[in-house]
C-alpha cells in the first residue's frame, strides 16, 4: 500500500499486489448532487510544474482505505501518506525531465498492457472490467497512459541514482527477520503453488483474416469514391467505443496508439484517408481531421478478424499435443522455451515461481487444485493479452500450505524483503535530498 512505510514493505511480499498504480486508478465514486457554492475540485499541492488535485488524493485515499484493516491508520495519517506519495512521484518526474531521462513509447505500451492485463485477470474478463469502470479497454489505456509514462520516467531516474542493488548477506536476512518477527507473526501466508506454464495462442485462420481485410478494402474503396466516412464508421466499425461518434478518437498525442496505427495516423495530411492498416486489433481505415502541434485528431473504422471455432480447436489441439509429448518424456522447460507465447515465463522455461491461489483465475485455480504435485493440468482456456485468447497448461511442482512466515520455508521471500528494506532506506535518503531541490507548495 503506502510504499514509504516499512510495514508495507514486507506485507507486499505476502499480500496481493495493488492492481494499478496511478493517480486516477481508484474506483469511480457515485455521482452526488452538486449544490450552489460547492467547490468542485481544489488544488492539494503544486510540485514543479505539476498540480495535484484534491479529488485525486481523495480517490487514492479511498482505494488505500479499502485495502487496509479497519482502524490500522487514522484519516489524517492516511491523507498525509497518500499526499506524500503524490508529491514524491511528481518530484521524481521533475528530476527525470531535468536530467533528460527517456522511456520509449513501446516501453510505456508494454507496461500499460501488463498493468491492464493484471486487472483483467483479477476481474475475470475484459467485459467485467469495462463494466466496473464504465469505459472500454482502449479508453482506459488512453486515460492512464500519461500517468504511466510520468511514473516510469520517475522510476527510471530513481533506478539510475540507486544503481545495481547490493546483495544482502544471510546475516542481513536473519537480522531483518528478527527485527520484524513480531509483525511477521501476525501475517499468514496463504496456500501457494510452485508452477510453470506453457501458453498457446488462438490465432485466426487465413480465410478469416482475408475476409476481414476484404471488407476493409471494400470500405476503403467506397470512401475514396466519396462515401461519407462518419456514416460508414457508424454502420461498419467494430470499435464500439468510437463507432457511435462516427469513429472519432479526438485529439491524441504520440504514444497513445499502437505502433502501426500511430505511424499511419501521424503520416497523414489533414483530410487524407489512409490505406488499410493492420494492427493487433484488426484492420483500420484512418482519416486525419486536424493536426495541432504534436497532437492529431483522427477517426477510424475498425474491422476485427472474426474468431472461429476452428481457430479455437487448432489452439486446443496444439496444447494437447504438447501436453502429450511432456507426459511421454519431453522436457516441459524445453517446450516452454520453444513453443510458449507467455512473455513473462518463456525465457525461464515456463517457471512462474510461487503463486498465491487468489492471484489465479477461478478456472485455473480449480484445475491446479485438482492436479497432484509433479503432474500437468489439462488445457485451460485463458486470456493471454488484451486482444489475444488461447490455452495454457500448468506443471504443478509442489504445494506450499498456508503458514506463518519463517526462515526455513520462506528464506527466498525474506531475502527479497530484506533487499527491498535496504533499498528502501537508500531511496528515503535520496528522496530527502531531492525534495529540497524541487519547488513544492502544499495548499
The angle subtended at Cα 388 by Cα 382 and Cα 390, nearest 5°, is 40
**pLDDT at site 197:** 97
pLDDT band at 115 (very low <50, low <70, confident <90, very high): confident
Between the CA of residue 235 and those of 199, 229, 261, what are the distances in Å?
36, 10, 21
In a 13 Å sphere around the CA of 276, the CA atoms on its Cβ side amount to 19
Q: Where are the beta strands (DSSP E) in 304-433?
A: 351-356, 380-383, 389-400
Average pLDDT over residues 172-194: 89
**pLDDT at site 334:** 96
Q: Rounded distance, CA 238 to CA 281, Å?
A: 10
Contacts of 353 (CB under 8 A, 6+ apart): 194, 195
Nearest to 45 by CA among 74, 76, 85, 5: 85
Per-position b or e across 37-58, b if 16+ CB within 10 A of its CB? eeeeeeebbbbbebebbbbbbb
> Torsion over CA of 237, 240, 244 and 248, rounded to 10 degrees?
-70
pLDDT band at 428 (very low <50, low <70, confident <90, very high): confident
Q: Which helix (H) or strand (E) holds 249?
A: strand 248-253
| 8 A C-beta contact, residue 157 and residue 101 | yes
| 8 A C-beta contact, residue 43 and residue 51 | yes
Beta bridge partner(s), residue 298: 288
**pLDDT at site 83:** 86
Cell numbers at 52, concatenated: 495535484
**pLDDT at site 140:** 82
**How is residue 298 annotated by DSSP?**
E
- Cβ burial of 72 (10 Å; 0-12, 13-18, 19+) is exposed
The angle subtended at Cα 21 by Cα 122 and Cα 243, nearest 5°, is 70
| 8 A C-beta contact, residue 13 and residue 112 | no
**pLDDT at site 347:** 92
pLDDT band at 309 (very low <50, low <70, confident <90, very high): confident
Contacts of 311 (CB under 8 A, 6+ apart): 202, 203, 204, 205, 208
pTM given for the model: 0.53
Q: Rounded distance, CA 149 to CA 156, Å?
A: 10
Average pLDDT over residues 230-253: 91
125-147: pLDDT as tens digits: 888 888 877 888 888 888 788 88
pLDDT band at 165 (very low <50, low <70, confident <90, very high): low
Quick one: how far is CA 175 from the chain centroid? 35
Domains located in the chain, CATH noted: 6-28+40-186+406-442 (1.10.4030.10), 192-203+308-400 (3.10.50.40), 206-303 (3.10.50.40)
Cell numbers at 248, concatenated: 472519432
Phi, psi of 293 (to 5 degrees): 65, -125
Please check the confidence at residue 166 and state whether its pLDDT lies above 50. Answer: yes
* Helices 126-133, 105-123: inter-axial angle, 10-degree rounding: 90
Average pLDDT over residues 245-274: 90
Residue listed under C-alpha cell 505476502: 14
Q: Rounded distance, CA 282 to CA 260, Å?
A: 11
Contacts of 217 (CB under 8 A, 6+ apart): 276
Q: Rounded distance, CA 22 to CA 145, Å?
A: 10
**Highest averaged pLDDT of the listed ranges 101-110, 244-253, 393-402:** 393-402
Amino acid at each position: 500500500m503506502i510504499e514509504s512505510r516499512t510495514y508495507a514493505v514486507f506485507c507486499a511480499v505476502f499480500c496481493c499486489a495493488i492492481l494499478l498504480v496511478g493517480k486516477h486508478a481508484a474506483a469511480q465514486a457515485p455521482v452526488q448532487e452538486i449544490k450552489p457554492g460547492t467547490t468542485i475540485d481544489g488544488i492539494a499541492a503544486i510540485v514543479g510544474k505539476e498540480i495535484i488535485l484534491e479529488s485525486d488524493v481523495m480517490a487514492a485515499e479511498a482505494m488505500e482505505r479499502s485495502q487496509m484493516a479497519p482502524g490500522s491508520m487514522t484519516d489524517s495519517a492516511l491523507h498525509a501518506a497518500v499526499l506524500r506519495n503524490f508529491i514524491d512521484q511528481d518530484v521524481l518526474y521533475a528530476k527525470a525531465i531535468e536530467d533528460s531521462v527517456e522511456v520509449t513509447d513501446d516501453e510505456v505500451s508494454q507496461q500499460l498492457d501488463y498493468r491492464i492485463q493484471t486487472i483483467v485477470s483479477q476481474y475475470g474478463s475484459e467485459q467485467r472490467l469495462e463494466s466496473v469502470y464504465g469505459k472500454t479497454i482502449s479508453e482506459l489505456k488512453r486515460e492512464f497512459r500519461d500517468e504511466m509514462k510520468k511514473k516510469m520516467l520517475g522510476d527510471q531516474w530513481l533506478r539510475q541514482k540507486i544503481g545495481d542493488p547490493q546483495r544482502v548477506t544471510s546475516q542481513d536476512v536473519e537480522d531483518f527477520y528478527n527485527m520484524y518477527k513480531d509483525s511477521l507473526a501476525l501475517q499468514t501466508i496463504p496456500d501457494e503453488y510452485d508452477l510453470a506454464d506453457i501458453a498457446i495462442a488462438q490465432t485466426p485462420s487465413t480465410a478469416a483474416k482475408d475476409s476481414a481485410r476484404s471488407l476493409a478494402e471494400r470500405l476503403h474503396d467506397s470512401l475514396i469514391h466519396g462515401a461519407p466516412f462518419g456514416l460508414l464508421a457508424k454502420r461498419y466499425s467494430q470499435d464500439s467505443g468510437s463507432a457511435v461518434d462516427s469513429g472519432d478518437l479526438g485529439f491524441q498525442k504520440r504514444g497513445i496508439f499502437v505502433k502501426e496505427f500511430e505511424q499511419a495516423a501521424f503520416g497523414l495530411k489533414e483530410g487524407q484517408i489512409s490505406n488499410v492498416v493492420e494492427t493487433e486489433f484488426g484492420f483500420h481505415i484512418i482519416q486525419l481531421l486536424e493536426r495541432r502541434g504534436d497532437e492529431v485528431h483522427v477517426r477510424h473504422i475498425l474491422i476485427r478478424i472474426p474468431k472461429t471455432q476452428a481457430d479455437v480447436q487448432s489452439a486446443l489441439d496444439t496444447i494437447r499435443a504438447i501436453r502429450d509429448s511432456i507426459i511421454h518424456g519431453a522436457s516441459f522447460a524445453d517446450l516452454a522455451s520453444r513453443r510458449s507465447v507467455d512473455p513473462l515465463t518463456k525465457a525461464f522455461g515456463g517457471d512462474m515461481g510461487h503463486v498465491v491461489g487468489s492471484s489465479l483465475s477461478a478456472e485455473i485455480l480449480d484445475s491446479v487444485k485438482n492436479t497432484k504435485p509433479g503432474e500437468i493440468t489439462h488445457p485451460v482456456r485463458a486470456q493471454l493479452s488484451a486482444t489475444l485468447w488461447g490455452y495454457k497448461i500448468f506443471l504443478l511442482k509442489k504445494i506450499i500450505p498456508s503458514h506463518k512466515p519463517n526462515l526455513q520455508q520462506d528464506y527466498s521471500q525474506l531475502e527479497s524483503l530484506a533487499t527491498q528494506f535496504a533499498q528502501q532506506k537508500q531511496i528515503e535518503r535520496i528522496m530527502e535530498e531531492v525534495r529540497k531541490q524541487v519547488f513544492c507548495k502544499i495548499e
